[in-house]
Structure 1
Amino acid sequence: MFLALSSIVPSVVASYALLHNFTGTSFLSGFNFFSGSDPTHGFVRYQSEADARSQDLVAVSDNSIYIGVDYKNKAPNGRASVRIESKELYKKGLFVLDLAHMPSSTCGTWPSFWTWGSEGRWPDLGEIDIIEGIHTNTINAFSVHTAEGCSIDGKGMFCALGTLKTLNCYIGAPGQLSNAGCGTEASSPSSFGSPFNAAGGGVYAMEWTSQFIKMWFFPRNAIPTDLDGSGTVDPAGWGTPQANFQGACDFDKMFGEQRIVLDTTFCGDWAGAVWDSCKKVGSDCNTYVANNPEVFKESYWRVNYLRIFE
């Protein structure tokens, strides 16, 4: 089912109203468990809901949901993990995730919170990566990925707090690594992994309109007051975003209906391809992940809520 969110530009509309609030015992009502082969070729075995529950990879309480990985058993065929995908498809709006914990900064891991235009048409419907990193990273990577014909500016009114890394959103852009897309690195040194957890977590937000895609990170002690769940929210009062994807891009054309995804994979196309920083712990990514279950005990998500506004 495709759910059409408001296409009115937020500079005209002063605030967003709550559409969905996934939290606590209701969280999984909005998601399906993906148990197929990892599209990013990770060393992972995604579990069905029944299998994830039986292995204690998922635990729901009144206030939060735990989504983890197998940290007890060796895994010669790939480590058991969870990937959930929203039942609904979304186009535009405001997406806010409050996390008490994300997978820690551990060699072999590749956790992500993202959206993508699935149904076998990637990248024609685009991809938006809100939280992503690998190995021992402690700084979050924001990015968007598209078919040919989308780039961003990064200057003047299009600036952001984060460090702009790449300008061309096309996955095959010349002069950029394959599938780099448009990329921005967060300004906070504790926006990802272990230091994020040590600080009590925080909130990530993504605003998607016909004119731009913007992303914010708020540590626990700096969450905007209008995100207290009591009413409408207005990103115009949140200050400069961490990432501002805006420029020579037809966002309505390049980004179609998207599924929301939260997952933890291992190795694969990114983490497996850049293992040099982790060679001190093992000769290759797959072998390390297979034989060292105990190091992944902290490789879990603790989600307080996901709220979607229109």
Structure 2
Amino acid sequence: MLALIAGPGALGAYTLKDNYTPSSFFSMFNFFTAGDPTHGFVKYLDQATAASQGLISSTASSVYIGADHSNTAPSGRSSIRIQSKKLYTHGLFILDLAHMPGSICGTWPSFWTYGSQQTWPANGEIGESSFRVHTQAMNSMALHTAEGCTTSGVNQTGRVQTGNCFVNAAGQSSNAGCGVESTTPTSYGTAFNAAGGGVYATEWTSSAIKIWYFPQTALPRDIASGSPNPSRWGVPQANFAGGCNIDAHFTNHQIVFDLTFCGDWAGNVWSSSSCSALAASCDAYVANNPAAFAEAYWRINSLRVYQSS
């Protein structure tokens, strides 16, 4: 179940606004079919083509979003990128996944929100879950902004990777943003799937952006009951707060699911990864090994949007 809840979590009182049920899920998103902004080796499909090729489907209880794993792909592997039709400022995003793309060489899956390609990074970007590439073992969470936003990395369980959210910050790799790595081994990819999936919850208020991860076996009762209250959840994995005016840097975000391949991140680190033993380049591996991507799919239990009462 994915939930977006607006308002201060300390109040713990929320009203359901938007319910992205499996039956209506795809009608509430736009299918992105332009060239990948991150220069991935990918071909994003429209809804009709994706459905006809079996790359999207839904049941009464879940939604499937996958990538082609049957054909060689000399011009880029077919995949999906969807962006919500509705925009959100502030909220608590709760993503309940049965499965995320596995830890597979060449992959770069992401669940995130951002304030449009035309204004990026002025309206900010929040990378919540599955923000990793190749066979990396644990989730990475990050914010990306224009200049003037930093975080302190206190009151969180994750490890600070970078502290300046500005995409061109000195002393950080390009577009690193401010990043936090999870310390939970089941937080990403193959290990996440083997554990039966889990829940990511991201609270976005004027004072901070906080991200929690819960295995399915440790899901708070208030999330399961549909009345989430972040004030009861304990220390988050990431607590993006400190030297950042949140409202000045984050506004009018779309919800995005995507799976790209290679590109600006996965492609650029191919030669330094263990995956480099498999092929001379990331593009070559992705093009010629379709069966490797059978586990490169999202299985989403639901998406809900709550706002403060």
- TM-score, reference length from structure 1: 0.94
**What is the 5 A alignment of 1:144-293?**
144-155=143-154, 159-228=155-224, 230-275=225-270, 276-277=272-273, 278-293=275-290
Contact 2:153 2:238 in 1 (8 A): no
Instruction: Report what 1:142 is aligned to.
Output: 141
Deviation string 1:2-47 (CA, Å, 9 cap, x unpaired) is xxx85x5333x23322222213212212111111110111000000
Q: Which runs of 4+ in 1 moved over 4 A?
A: none
Contact 1:15 1:235 in 2 (8 A): no
Deviation string 1:126-151 (CA, Å, 9 cap, x unpaired) is 00000111000120000000000000
Query: Gaps spanning 5+ residues in structure 2: where?
Result: none
Q: Secondary structure at the match of 1:113?
A: strand
For the residues of structure 2 that align with 1:95 and 1:298, how far apart are their CA atoms?
25
Contact 2:50 2:80 in 1 (8 A): yes
Query: Gaps spanning 5+ residues in structure 1: where?
Result: none
Total equivalences in the alignment: 301
- 1:111 corresponds to which letter in structure 2? P
Instruction: Report what 2:125 is aligned to.
Output: 127
Contact 1:139 1:191 in 2 (8 A): yes
Deviation string 1:138-194 (CA, Å, 9 cap, x unpaired) is 200000000000001123xxx201111111100011111111111000110111000
Contact 1:17 1:231 in 2 (8 A): no
Among 291, 294, 297, the residue aligned to 1:297: 294
Instruction: Report what 1:91 is aligned to.
Output: 89
Contact 1:57 1:67 in 2 (8 A): yes
For the residues of structure 2 that align with 1:15 and 1:128, how far apart are their CA atoms?
24
Instruction: Report what 2:33 is aligned to.
Output: 35
For the residues of structure 1 that align with 2:34 and 2:282, how far apart are their CA atoms?
21
TM-aligned CA deviation for residue 119 of structure 1? 4.8
TM-aligned CA deviation for residue 231 of structure 1? 4.2
TM-aligned CA deviation for residue 94 of structure 1? 0.9
Aligned identity (percent) is 54
- 1:290 corresponds to which letter in structure 2? A
Name the CA shift for 1:297/1:279 in 2 (closer, same or farther; >3 Å). Answer: same
TM-aligned CA deviation for residue 73 of structure 1? 0.3
Name the CA shift for 1:142/1:309 in 2 (closer, same or farther; >3 Å). Answer: same
TM-aligned CA deviation for residue 216 of structure 1? 0.6
RMSD (CA atoms): 1.3
